[in-house]
Amino acid sequence: MSFAIGLNSVTDGIVKEYPDLDSVTIFTPPNVALMAMSSSPLLDKFMRFHMVVQRHSFKQLAGLPPGASLSTLVRGKHVDITENSRVSQVMSINGVAITAPDLFVSKNFVVHGIARALNMDELSSMSR
């Protein structure tokens, strides 16, 4: 399952839950990360955990200090900037490197490719 198909499957719920949401940043892992979840109830949480409120280009993320938190679309959960080196242009979110910055950019969202899926351990027992 591709990330785009997973995103499409949760879009209606996101729009209902966040009617005023006008922009997002999406961190997309390799497609392989989704194959095990294609029919899992965790898919919705997985997708939402890889999306943060507001559109952040790579340049904007690079302006944030390590430790800065970004709110995800899982209520009460956030991801953190864990590495930010302007010299080497290495940036990590929750310890996962952004490998394809600004993969797709529009007025309302930006997509960044990441090396692997973000750790979902703490979310597996949560309800939305």
Closest CA to 114 of 87, 86, 82: 82
Bridge-based pairing state of the strands 69-71 and 78-85: antiparallel
pTM summary value: 0.85
Coil, strand or helix at 8? helix
In the DSSP assignment, the letter for residue 126 is: -
pLDDT in tens, 43-87: 888 889 999 999 999 999 999 999 999 999 998 999 999 987 766
| pLDDT category of residue 125 using cuts at 50, 70 and 90 | very low
The DSSP result for 18-49, as a single string, is -TT---EEEEE--THHHHTTTT-THHHHHHHH
pLDDT at residue 88, rounded to an integer: 66
